[in-house]
Amino acid sequence: MKFLVDNPVSPLVAEALRSSGHDAVHVLDYGLQAASDTVIFARASQEDRIIITSDTDFGLLAARTGIRKPSIVLFHHSFPHRPSVQARILVKNLARLSTALEQGSLVVLENRRIRIRSLPIIS
């Protein structure tokens, strides 16, 4: 899978994903650390990358645009903040989440559960 890790998430998460055999870049790698969410969203969509973030605005952006991709993995505020723990839990669960992410989903990783909502989000 291909990932674009957003600025609020440590570059160490991207490194861990690469170490696990995934194509992962951090916004710093593109010089997009100060870019707007819409620019990051567009870049991920253009490259068919899954966004990894702790910024809830991406879910709102996905709902507003009504598109199926890019998929988004959101680290909820209750999710551990240590990058090594985030990476370990994410990598451990990717096989289980792969179909949903490939089809277009918002995946929310919380402290004690994982929620999956298919895109587009229709209210």
pLDDT tens-digit readout, 39-51: 999 999 999 999 9
* Alpha carbons 121 and 39: distance in angstroms, whole number: 20
User: Who's near 62: CB < 8 A, 6+ residues apart?
Assistant: 41, 72, 106, 119, 120, 121
What's the pLDDT tens digit per position in 52-110?
999 999 999 998 889 999 999 999 999 999 999 999 999 999 999 999 999 999 999 99
This prediction has a pTM of 0.96
Domain ranges of the chain: 2-118
What is the model's pLDDT at position 123? 62
